[in-house]
Structure 1
Amino acid sequence: MPGRRQRQQLSLLQGAPVKPIRIPSARSSRGMTLVELLVAMTIGLFLIIMVVTVLISTTTSSRVSVLTAQMNEDAALAIELLQEQIRLSGFSGQTAGARHFTGVPLIGCDSGFTPASESGPFDQLACNPGNGADSLAVRYEGTGLNSQLVGNVPPLLPADCTSSGVAAADPGTGTAISLIDNRFYIENDAGNANTPSLYCRGSDGAGGFNQSSALIPNIEDLQFRYAVTRMPVAGQVMPHQVTAHVDASDPALGNVLLNWSRVAAVHICLVARSAQPVPLGDNQVVDVGRFVDCNDVVQNPMDRFVRRSYRTTVFLRNARPAVPAAFELNGVVVQNPYRHLSSSN
């Protein structure tokens, strides 16, 4: 039986039609036209623009989120620090029922302490005029239970707000203690591009003060209001009922040291800002900067920094007895450990 090749040869000899080989024409092998090329380039460019737009938007949103998160963290740290210090104000140990520290626990100024009095005695603190950021001074007995202990050799000393040791001295009660006297205020930090920061200066316990220290950056404003009770009466337990919420310059306080024994709680408000200006993206600069300040006034700064106000209220747990009544034991009235806050002193 003939093979395939033989059959093909036989078919050629018998005159069978042979299928012609097709050669591509010049027209069928041509490339893209100019119009087609322009359309393809336009589509490609559109896709590139879409990808870049999404990338920029995502990067902007991410950058704003990072800066806002950092701002919230700075504010939280500042609030926590101030809360801790205010709660400690007035803390004192006792010996045979007598307190080691019997002074007024805190005092504040609406626009900051004057430079001349800022590092002076507690009872001589004076206030700046105007409406700037507030300052606050708090005092308490420092111990290993409420303060960091510092030093190279025993006995270690309780530290102030700048982590410097506070020497022991007698505050007038017959017992030597490390009396912490921390003073908080807002100032531009020259070592950090003049960034507004929460500062503190603490006493060294020997009549002087340690170098001030910037604690937390990007804190622009600090405002305090004070919950005050009625005036104390000599020989009676300190009153508990709050009668007003006032500023430091209010006549209820009036920067008179005795009046500050009326303070039962402190309301804190601070304004924090982002570490850097934020990218605008699709936002307007007026929308980025808008915030409500500590006086409940809407502000619209145009510098592209994000700002927010943060608030809390702290009760002075060491400046009031637990119950608004005389201290009794088996029906016998005992000495009131809070008598130092009465108007008799």
Structure 2
Amino acid sequence: MSATPHRRAIRGLTLIELLVAMAVGLVVVLAAVSALTVARRGFTTVDAASQLRDNGRFAADMIQRIGVQTGYRDVFFAATPRQPTTTDPAPSIMGFNNAKVNLTSPLTSSTARPATEAGTGSDVLIMRYQPAQIHTMTVSSTDADKTMIDCAGNAPATVADINTTAARDALMASVFSIGVNQGEPTLMCTYYDSATSAWLSSPIVQGVENFQVLYGVDGVTAGTATAAGAASPNVPNAYLRADQIGVSGNSTATNANWRRVRSVRIGMVLRSAKGAAQDSQTQTFYPFGPTKGSATGTTGSAFADATNDPGTVFQPTPDGRLRQTLTFTIHLRNDQGL
């Protein structure tokens, strides 16, 4: 009689009880995994967004740093007038629309970008300036003070002898464009390497898939030579593409127009690695910002021209990446004249 209750107390689970316990446990595990997955994905998105902001800040800082130098000339040349000459020196700022860098001659020509290549519709921006000399009592030194750098961070150790005619127009250059690095569209820096006597390109920020440039000009009409002696209040009254500043068949007029550039408006679209976005939707980006061309205009219409400048209306294929636009304007503080 006393054994029966004892046997009932120590008996195991029935099959139904075991199945119910397993089902409850499975629900708990699935809920935990789901919560972990959501948390992990949220962390990935936040981390990618933070990286995009950091990349954007770095790219803007670098371009603005070079922009501040653009047009700079050593005090010796800035303080002395140019003598009459037939030489037409290259402008301090110029660029190419919807193109990529030609490493053979990056300052005078560009290469067409295939439609299938990353960065389609992006532009090339060229900024030139003069390294500063360490001035001595005898002004015979050719040592540079190393305050002027190119986009790769290189500072020349020497400058041209200021007593030579060619020294006045001896400028260093930084070229910004979009290239491909490790399979990703990248903001590239092209610079002249004195050690190898060749133009080299190095990556600045990876994940920049769209790079747009407009030039704030003073008194320039698209494709037209500016009248000699035209007033120049040094305030931009229009923003033009690089191909609108050039004058067909007239390099002198083209250079004169480039010298009337007073500011540069930069627009970029940066992207993260795949899988960072919470969803994949078709999006349209306006690298030059959301400003409307008129009160009734559509978003981004102020600087967008899908026909002549397709990169200004950018609609990438949905691929699970986060994207961010970056827009800023650089006002050139150095005289862009001769």
- The alpha-carbon distance between structure 1 residues 21 and 112, as it changes in their structure 2 partners (threshold 3 A), is closer
Contact 1:168 1:177 in 2 (8 A): no
Paired position in structure 1 for 2:215: 226
TM-score, normalised relative to structure 1: 0.68
Matched to 1:169, the amino acid is A
Structure 1 stretches of 5 or more lacking a match?
1-19, 146-153, 321-337, 341-345
Equivalent position to 2:109, from 126, 149, 152: 126
Deviation at 1:271, TM superposition (A): 1.5
The one-character-per-residue Cα deviations of 1:72-119 (angstroms, maximum 9, x if unpaired) are 21222111111111221011232382279x862200111235627634
Q: What SS does the corresponding residue of 2:242 show, helix, strand or coil?
A: coil
Q: Tell me, yes or no, if structure 1 residue 80 matches structure 2 residue 78.
A: no
Q: Please state how far the C-alpha of 1:302 moved relative to its aligned partner.
A: 2.9
2:19 equivalent in structure 1: 38
Alignment of 1:137-148 (within 5 A): 137-143=126-132
Mapped contact 2:133–2:144 kept (Cα < 8 A):
no
Aligned partner (choices 47, 50, 58) of residue 66 of structure 1: 47
Change in Cα spacing, 1:308 to 1:253, as seen in structure 2 (3 Å) is farther
Aligned to 2:281: 286
Distance 1:26 1:260 in 2: 100
Residue 233 of structure 2, aligned match among 232, 239, 254: 239
Amino acid at match of 1:83: Q
Q: 1:32 to 1:85 in 2, by over 3 A?
A: same
SS at match of 1:227: strand
Does residue 261 in structure 1 map to residue 259 in structure 2? yes
- Find the counterpart in structure 1 of residue 173 from structure 2: 181
Match of 1:11 in 2: none
Q: Given that residues 168 and 205 in structure 1 are in contact (C-alpha distance below 8 angstroms), is that contact kept between their aligned partners in structure 2? A: no
Residue among 315, 319, 322 paired with 1:299: 315
**Which whole-Å CA distance do the structure 1 matches of 2:39 and 2:129 have between them?**
50
Residue number among 264, 267, 274 corresponding to 1:277 in the alignment? 274
Q: How many percent of aligned residue pairs carry the same amino acid?
A: 24
Equivalent residue number for residue 313 of structure 1: 329
Deviates more, 1:204-213 or 1:244-253: 204-213
Of the three residues 96, 112, 121, the one matched with 2:99 is 112
Q: In the alignment, what sits opposite 2:184?
A: 195
Name the SS of the counterpart of 2:205 in structure 1. Answer: strand
How big is each residue's C-alpha offset from its partner over 1:281-315, in whole Å with a ceiling of 9 and x where there is no partner?
A: xx43226xx35142463625133222222110110
Query: Residues 169 and 179 of structure 1 are in contact (CA less than 8 Å); yes or no, is this contact kept in structure 2?
Result: no
Q: Tell me: CA distance 1:159–1:225, structure 2 relative to 1, closer, same or farther (3 Å).
A: closer
For 1:235 and 1:251, how far apart are their aligned partners in 2?
18
- Partner SS, residue 49 of structure 1: helix
Greater Cα offset, 217-226 or 157-166:
157-166
Instruction: Kindly indicate whether the alpha-carbon contact (under 8 Å) linking 2:96 and 2:110 is maintained by their aligned counterparts in 1.
Output: yes
Post-superposition Cα deviations, 1:47-95, rounded to whole Å, max 9, x if no partner, equal 1111111011111111222222222212221111111112210112323
- Read off the aligned partner of 1:134 and give its amino acid letter: D
Larger gyration radius, structure 1 or structure 2: 1
- Offset, 1:197: 1.4
The aligned counterpart of 1:248 is 242
Q: Report if the CA contact (8 A) 1:169-1:206 is conserved.
A: no
Indicate if the aligned counterparts of 1:139 and 1:181 stay in contact, CA closer than 8 A. Answer: yes
CA 1:144/1:169 → structure 2, altered by over 3 Å: closer, same or farther? closer
Instruction: State the match for 1:168 in structure 2.
Output: 159
